[in-house]
Structure 1
């Protein structure tokens, strides 16, 4: 059995707490012989800044480059509010995305049956929800240059962020979306702002061309990003795979997260290009939620998004589909049994802490495998 190298970067805030529960589950799958996982640990974000004066060290970046997958927790917090902009905790995550070439961010928004009532929308609107948002991750306004604040002659200031996309960047994320749609309900919705943005004009043109040339058997629709935001809270189940740029993907995926009941429920995968020789991709898996410094250290954070991120690693990096399905089923069953962390509690449920939720998922894995 080949050994799979996992780099664990817990980060800041609740990151170490939720990652601890994932490491228990990684250990369980190793003992069951699904794969031989070798775990290495590093620092990222504020913890890395405290230790090294950088948001991620070159040594830990080298570990990330060598890993078969990276498991990432969360970064940031008020402690580091005044560090230099280039060394802020979030810069560590941006460097990982850039240096590993992680251009495709997959964010599933699935409403577990037991959590339909926890959504801010009516249960009938979100019951059965299963959306996959495919966000371009290494281009657009977050990486475009120039990016600056300059002082003008009259003493006022001007801030500039550049929205920039090339044909190749749009083509590769579009292909990922269409390929994934073929494994689901065979529909892609492409969101941009071609009515006011030149980058949106190019985005729509390229998506249309790739669809016609390579994926004509997949249904395609174009939707303006602002209308898409409205539709996500009006009639979200109309979407299957939603592909969009870096900025709009950031916003739309957070909207979709709340449809599921809590940010604590949403995992994500960030994938690089496939190596033609090995078929492998650089990959980073992380929960969508942040570091939540207000509850850090209290043992009440929801670990499910991070656990589900490992399920995505099993699925996309290690091709262990049966194992991923088993872990997803264990999570579903635990929720159906009425166990909840504080962020998803409702009437007639039993509230547990971070470790107890992780233990419950482990116990259900054991029961399902008996």
Structure 2
């Protein structure tokens, strides 16, 4: 039995709560011949409380050695006053940077049973299946200089630098086109070439990669602000939407709400293929945050975290049948009317975080 090395980083807020439901699934698959070797460590505010850093060197070593990392969520008002370099989110950014996780895949799928949970009309979102490909290690989140300085007159000036190179754009474009080949073979590239030089370069490079390597694919360029509008107006026009770090952050959150709740959106962050093994460094996490307002109340929706584990099965371990089985279980549970509070209609009963995880396990038993 092959053993897959998983590092679990539950983090803060509802992170540990949703991670517990994934641990049930790891145990379920292990009993059926899919072996996992798991370790657990701290990240974010929890790591700061223990080590005064957002992620320790030991945790980073474990992340480098793992076949995949499962990440919960970080942050909360408890750590608002910590030094900027040690803020909880710095742990997440370091993982992305040090592991070279440049390609962020964020699927936005509207399950049939949840079409009425979206704030948009059923006919707008029913059948929705978008894949947002976000560049994850460049752009304004990592560009230098990045500073907040006090000027001679006592006022302050803040600087963040949007920075992209040809190579960074080429590799994320190739990921998008490769994924599109397995879907409807359409790529929409979002930038702000009308006002940003990085947008001009982005459009030029994506166009060049398309012409040279993926000419059979359909490519359209769309300004990022228009893409935001179109996601709300007519989201099903998109297949694969590729964009930079900042716009990807914003557009994927818009897409999440089309599905009914932020609690429904998983994600994968992938690195480059190893030249020898062909494997990629990878981290999987729900798009939602730490939600400190509902922490410890059993209200969190674990399906984004569970979906992230499903993406790990598919992309890191090649366990396609197991990933399909898990997706089927989620679909069936939602079709049965089981809902956490974020998805439940007014006046209807909602299940707890733990109950939802148990329902998925029960359905897996039924399907197998």
TM-score band by shorter chain is over 0.9
1:31 aligns with 2:31: yes
- The match for 1:175 is 174
Aligned-partner Cα distance in 2 for 1:149–1:292:
27
Separation in 2 of the partners of 1:349 and 1:268?
29
Residues 173-223 of structure 1, C-alpha deviations (whole Å, 9 max, x = no match)? 000000000001110000000000000000000000000000001110000
- Name the counterpart of 1:152: 151
The corresponding residue for 2:5 is 5
CA deviation string 1:264-322 (max 9, x = no partner): 00000000000011110000000000000111011121000000000000010001111
Q: Distance in 2 between matches of 1:42 and 1:76?
A: 16
Residues 1:75 and 2:90 are matched in the alignment: no
* Separation (CA, whole Å) in 2 of partners of 1:349 and 1:98: 43
The CA deviation at 1:348 is 8.3
Task: List gaps (5 residues or longer) in structure 1.
Answer: none
- 1:219 matched to which residue of 2? 218
How high is the TM-score relative to the length of structure 2?
Answer: 0.99
Is the deviation greater in 339-348 or in 238-247?
339-348
Counterpart of 2:20?
Answer: 20
What's 1:289 paired with?
Answer: 288
TM-score where L is the length of structure 1: 0.98
Instruction: Determine the C-alpha separation between the residues in 2 that align with 1:350 and 1:5.
Output: 38
**Aligned-pair CA distance for 1:153:** 2.5
Once residues 252 and 347 of structure 1 are traced to their aligned partners in structure 2, the CA distance between those partners, rounded to angstroms, is: 28
**Deviation for aligned residue 1:253:** 0.2
Q: Which residue does the alignment assign to 1:205?
A: 204
Mapping for residues 326-337 of structure 1, pairs under 5 Å = 326-337=325-336
The structural deviation recorded for 1:154 is: 2.3
Gaps of 5+ in 2: none
User: What are the superposed Cα offsets for residues 138-158 of structure 1, whole Å, 9 maximum, x if unpaired?
Assistant: 000000000001222222211
Distance 1:151 1:21 in 2: 47
Runs of 4+ deviating beyond 6 Å? none
In the TM superposition, residue 26 of structure 1 has moved relative to its aligned partner by: 0.9
After TM superposition, the structure 1 = structure 2 runs for residues 1-370 of structure 1, keeping only pairs within 5 Å, are 1-33=1-33, 35-346=34-345, 350-369=349-368
Contact 1:148/1:160, CA 8 A, preserved across alignment: yes
CA distance in 2, matches of 1:176, 1:321: 19
